[in-house]
Chains A and B, each alone.
Chain A
Amino acid sequence: MPGNVQSVERAAAILRLLAEQNEPLTLSQIATALGLAKGTAHGIVRTLAEVGFVEQDQSNGPYRVATEVFRLGWARLDQNELRSKAINWTDALAARTGESARVAAYHAGRARVAHHVFRGDGGTQVLVTGSIVPLHASAMGKVLLAFDPGAGRSAANAELTAFTHRTIIDRVSLRRELASVRDSGWAGSVGEVEPGVAGIAAPIRDGGGHVVAAVGIEGSIDRVCDDRQRPRAALVTHVVRAGRAISRELGHGREW
């Protein structure tokens, strides 16, 4: 019988170590704790980061276990399943707000529209289901960046394209924006994807509490925002409620 592969054993030890700690660990702390040469520890940690099992907030920063590891074996929510669960409450959201409503989920590096409901005013509109929304500029994208660890990691090194002069392209500002999205539980985007267009989005959680998608509305700034160019509070409430209702359909906080 062949012997154990040493680097796999060491990788497992590092994952165990990081998972047991409340705080992220630096490379030296990891090497010391496991009695490894720093170069050896570095090689293994870098590989674990490549495959998405550990992560760090900034390069050269300390390491922690990525949330992805805890979701191993959880199948990604099927986009069509998501649409079928979201359709009733997305319709109600569009009806309540008078704006077009969308649901988007993060998959393979991009946020993709899984469902689209027209604005109720009867103008000519085309379904955009399947299209991509920018992660750092749109309201739905910001929700996914803020709450979906996969999306957050993918954007860490991606270039932040300027769609308008209001798009956030500075990493520090974006990090601050995402922190405030996590605090408030919703995201806004005012003229950041297209001039004159604003969006509001909120998270959709699955039965395990993980954010698996975002639901949002989009419309002209005049309608979606108040005089100070802030998303209207009443609309924010509708969007957040729709997010909660769809989360319930996915089993979040349901008793049965």
Chain B
Amino acid sequence: MVSPRYVAAIDQGTTSTRCMVFDRQGRMISIAQREHRRYFPRPGWVEHDAAEIWSIVKRILPQALSEAGIGADQIVALGVTNQRETTVVWDPKTGHPVAKAIVWQDTRTGPLLARIEREFDAEEIRLRTGLPLHHYFSAPKLRWLLDSDPHLQDRADRGELLFGTMDSWITWNLTGGAGLDGAGIDGAAGKHVTDVTNASRTMLMNLETLDWDDELLRVFGIPRSMLPRIHPSMDSFGRTRDPLPGIPIGALIGDQQASLIGQTAFEAGEAKCTFGTGSFLLLNTGREIVRSRHGLITTVAHKVAGSPAVYALEGSIAVAGGLVQWVRDSLGLIRSPAEIETLAAGVPDNGGCYVVPAFSGLFAPYWSSGAQGIMVGLTSYVTKEHIARAVLEASAWQTRDVVDAMNADAGVPAQSLAVDGGMTADNLLMQMVADVLDIPVVRPMMAETVALGAGYAAGLSVGYWSDPQVLRRHWHRAGEWRPTIDPARRDRELSEWRAAVSLAITWGKRGT
């Protein structure tokens, strides 16, 4: 009897890394997961230790297989998906990062952006990359790193350093890194690659050519030699050598694009919203590069080797679950993220309190680099329960803001919203989202669509599934929330939310 075969996915996220194994019906067979340390050395700075993240990947990949009771030879393909934009620079001789990774949430590059804008037209950057000039993306972070130490710029110019987002860092290590036998640079086996979705978040890739843009490399002062080779998302990336040898890597894809595949949103017009550390609404626009007039960004959804790229419009929200994490880690109001729902359910409304979590400025649709977080409407009446409610409502209202933008761009309003991600376990939040959007909110029978999408992409890449239509049959509705709120209350609270947002932006402009 032939032993059953599976796909695996490594999902390297902002707070944790997980490895999941799926069967041919897209059902989870096993999961291994571990959080990594996050560093906040100064206000607005967020860093990860890329070496720690790789050590976690090395641990959880064998663990997921052992929990599934299967061998590496039963994995037909591995997909790697990742937090996007987070910037790693490493020395390929030693395999060590030269600095902590600068995370996508990090705001340190604000002043640098002003300098870039004086040298180069921000609108031209948007035309080439689909992205507004904002600290969210990789190029300013990489520029900052090279500026931070004169040796780094010299070494980068001499071709001694490599840059990558987490997909590149992990794949370089999976495929051999600095060389398993310590043979030095000639023995190095690591493949230095990325995919079009991750590259589309660097602010260095041209959306039309799907290659690094020489003009932008010049503007940001990045030597081409340190950049990975851009592949289609579904392509042959070689086989793993570490920590287990011989598993074919079939896909690299950014986490939000992966969840679009996990929701089987393969057709133009299909959308999803993932609630994780941040929250991300993506609308598949097919082969067309659509430019938003309402604050969404244009990004690559995926590309199959040998086929044209598929694009998407994206409404990025920097802080969703991240705010709940902050309530746990920094305020200590709850012991686990899930308890926010218990706390918030203790009161019927927010008591007049609003939280605007502009910890990383504000992303879509506002794109304010300077905005800072605020909590408003405080009176003696407000309790921690009200604050918990305002914390969850902040995710719901931010979703409303990007859905409004998407509706305005599309010209037709969405009839329902497909949601996924760890925060969809929060039933109160899902009800709030339905209430503020005034449309049904639907969760599929696999909340972890990021890992599932990476597994799907890897499986499609090696022919484990013949075509995307097969995967659609695996999609089932697992839960649905319908709006129940009084429309007058919704309208009143929406205007209060919008007033709070403008306060957060105004506060960010003080002293300028």
Contacts and interface: CB of A to CB of B under 8 A. Distances in A.
A2 interface: no
Contacts of B478: 91, 94, 117-118, 120
B74 interface: no
Interface string B458-484: 000000000000000010111111000
Given A88-B28, A129-B427, A94 B445 contact: yes
Contacts of A89: 28
A122 interface: yes
Given A92-B27, A95-B446, A83 B479 contact: no
B289 to A, nearest CB: 34
B445 A84 contact: no
Interface stretch (B163-171, B337-345, B352-360): B337-345
Given A81-B338, A83-B338, A117 B445 contact: yes
Nearest to A94: B445
Interface string A72-95: 000000111101110111011011
Interface in A22-53: none
A127 B478 CA distance: 9
Interface residues of B, number: 28
Nearest to A90: B478
A126 B427 CA distance: 13
B479 A117 contact: yes
B185 interface: no
Interface residues of A, number: 26
Interface in B431-472: 445-448
B404 interface: no
Given A95-B25, A95-B27, A95-B446, A118 B477 contact: yes
Nearest to A100: B478
Contacts of A136: none
Interface in B399-456: 422, 424-427, 445-448
B336 interface: yes
B259 to A, nearest CB: 15
Contacts of A165: none
A91 B336 contact: no
A83 to B, nearest CB: 5
Interface string A118-143: 10111001110100000000000000
Given A88-B448, A120-B445, A81 B339 contact: yes
Between B336, B425, B446, B478, the greatest number of chain A beta carbons within 10 A of the residue's beta carbon is seen for: B478
A94 B443 CA distance: 13
B481 A88 contact: no
A255 B494 CA distance: 47
A78 B336 contact: yes
A80 B476 contact: no
B207 interface: no
A122 B427 contact: no
A84 B342 contact: no
B492 to A, nearest CB: 27
Nearest to A126: B480
Contacts of B426: 80, 84
A125 B481 CA distance: 11
A80 B481 contact: no
Given A95-B446, A127-B479, A83 B425 contact: yes
A85 B339 CA distance: 12
A47 B149 CA distance: 73
Contacts of A166: none
A205 interface: no
B31 interface: yes
Interface string B59-103: 000000000000000000000000000000000000000000000
A84 B425 contact: yes
Nearest to B478: A117
Nearest to B25: A95
A116 B479 contact: yes
A84 B338 contact: yes
Nearest to A256: B34
Interface in A85-119: 85, 87-89, 91-92, 94-96, 115-118
B480 A118 contact: yes
A87 B425 contact: yes
A116 B340 CA distance: 19
Interface string B118-148: 0000000000000000000000000000000
18 contacts: A80-B338, A80-B340, A81-B336, A84-B338, A84-B426, A85-B338, A87-B424, A87-B425, A88-B446, A91-B446, A94-B478, A95-B445, A95-B474, A117-B445, A118-B480, A120-B476, A122-B476, A126-B480
Interface of A: 78-81, 83-85, 87-89, 91-92, 94-96, 115-118, 120-122, 125-127, 129
Q: Which 4 A-B pairs have the closest CB atoms?
A: A120-B476, A84-B338, A84-B425, A80-B341
Given A80-B339, A80-B340, A96-B27, 6 more contacts: A81-B338, A83-B425, A84-B338, A91-B478, A120-B476, A122-B476
